[in-house]
Chain A
């Protein structure tokens, strides 16, 4: 199975770094699309089937935690896996993110750490074949 990934960060430089890490991780990718904030991400999720969202927290317009809450309230989006990519290490923030029940990877991270987290979350690893037939 190849993953369809949405990368959400208000920094285009950070989006590029995350996407480069994804490609270097060896995780099979079908597609990677980008959004600059939570609102743009919701629009992208409505238009594209996505397996995994990598999301920053502190963003203008709509933050990452607001996006996660919104996704949880929509049945079609609630099944999508989410990883928070954050540089905020404060205890308060960690508690807030823990309450949302999503795994967190801290910046800076390396492709191997990202790969381990994605495999543990999705079960997808390099070379895995899909049991599902597209229709």
Chain B
């Protein structure tokens, strides 16, 4: 079954028959985690770096922000049997929303990436693979049969 992750959304599964997909990753970040031993996987699609800019929105939907969404991505996977030390983390997105990144005053994509790296570092989690930055919109798919993550840019697929 194909499970769709919307914008500011998170999904998990422990079925090898499932794949988890998110579309339109621009400055947003797609973060996948996968435990090869249990087949537990999850995906988060976050929009902004820090929940402190709008605590009410963060309380309503923690998946909007990196600092409030990422802990939930891991905690939910633990509930399904995943173990932290086995989790493979992959990251995509964080693009500039402008054709010329130098004109991107708010640099949300870049700030999302910095916030994520800081958060993972603090919690002793390493990123297995990442493709961030640039200006392209990405579609990200986690295949729970293999743990493989594929990215699609302008109709062309490749493995992350």
Residues of chain A having any CB pair with chain B under 8 Å: 49, 51, 75-76, 79, 131-135
Contact = CB atoms under 8 A, between A and B. Distances in A.
Top 4 A-B pairs ranked by shortest CB distance?
A133-B71, A135-B74, A135-B71, A79-B118
Nearest to B77: A135
Contacts of B35: none
A75 B123 contact: no
A135 B74 CA distance: 6
B79 to A, nearest CB: 12
24 contacts: A49-B121, A49-B122, A49-B123, A51-B122, A75-B117, A76-B117, A79-B114, A79-B117, A79-B121, A131-B50, A131-B51, A131-B52, A131-B68, A132-B67, A132-B71, A132-B119, A132-B122, A133-B72, A133-B75, A134-B71, A134-B123, A135-B71, A135-B74, A135-B123
A76 B121 contact: yes
Nearest to A132: B67
Contacts, number: 34
Nearest to A45: B121
A61 to B, nearest CB: 25
Contacts of A49: 121-124
Nearest to B120: A76
B8 interface: no
B117 A131 contact: no
Interface in B43-99: 50-52, 67-68, 70-72, 74-75, 84
Contacts of A135: 70-71, 74-75, 84, 123
Contacts of A75: 117
Nearest to A76: B121
Contacts of A131: 50-52, 67-68
Nearest to B66: A132
Nearest to B76: A135
- Most chain A CB inside 10 Å of its own CB: which residue of B50, B67, B121, B123: B121
Nearest to B119: A132
B83 to A, nearest CB: 12
Contacts of B51: 131
Contacts of A51: 122
Contacts of B70: 135
Nearest to B65: A131
Nearest to B70: A135
